[in-house]
Amino acid sequence: MKQLTLSIIALFILTACKTTHTVNDSHIKLCEKTIHDYIQYRDLGPIEQYQALFTADATFSVPKLNIALNTSEAIANRAKKALMTKKSIHMITSTNIKLLSQNTYSNVSHFVLHLSDKNTPNAKRKIFNGRYVDTLVIQNDQCLIKTRNVLIDRMDTLP
């Protein structure tokens, strides 16, 4: 009887762990998609899809460039203006998404950004290397960016 009870408890624990693991895996996949969609929509639009990657009260900061934005609307408006004058090519080189609490994840992604002026083809181009440090939340079966702190490790200007 004791053996049967221990077996049932062990089975219950394994099932619970597997279920939790599966949910976390699906959330991590959702968050990976958000990180990769970010670069796609930020470089090419549409801005509505870009804005939809953020919570309404999202914050976005780039301390090295004195940028601090406090809503998804403000974040989208800045990107919309940039798309009119700048050509950007983002590349994510790695991501590290980790569970913080039930529906909250942290992420650190390394990126390379190539930025050039659309209206002045001969203008100098900029290359940024850095990290996106994010808090991501699961809402309505979507992974959304709640906070994004952009840390620039290196900026180069090319002729």
What does the pLDDT read at residue 1? 53
Distance of CA 147 to the CA centre of its chain: 9
Average pLDDT over the chain, rounded to whole? 89
- Helix (H, G, I), strand (E, B), or coil: what is residue 47? helix
For residue 131, the model assigns a pLDDT of 98
* CA–CA separation, 126 and 115 (whole Å): 5
pLDDT exceeds cutoff 50 at 5: no
What residue spans define the domains of the chain? Answer: 2-158
Torsion, Cα 151 88 39 50, to 10 degrees, reads 100
Q: Please report where in the chains the tokens 């949910």 appear, as a residue.
A: 23
* pLDDT for 141 beyond 90: yes
Distances in whole angstroms, Cα of residue 93 to Cα of each of 9, 10, 96, 142: 43, 40, 11, 23
pLDDT at 17 over 70: no
d(CA 27, CA 21): 10
| CATH 3.40.50.300 is right for the domain spanning 2-158 | no
Q: How far apart are CA 107 and CA 64, in angstroms?
A: 20
> pLDDT grade, residue 24 (50/70/90)?
confident
Give CA angle at 47 (41, 49), nearest 5°.
65
Question: What predicted TM-score, i.e. pTM, was given to this entire model?
Answer: 0.84
Q: Of 11-15, 19-23, 95-99, which has the strongest mean pLDDT?
A: 95-99
> What whole-number percentage of the chain has pLDDT above 90?
81
Q: What is the pLDDT of residues 104-129, one digit of tens each?
A: 999 999 999 999 999 997 889 999 99
Q: Which residue has the higher pLDDT, 38 or 15?
A: 38
pLDDT on residue 21:
42
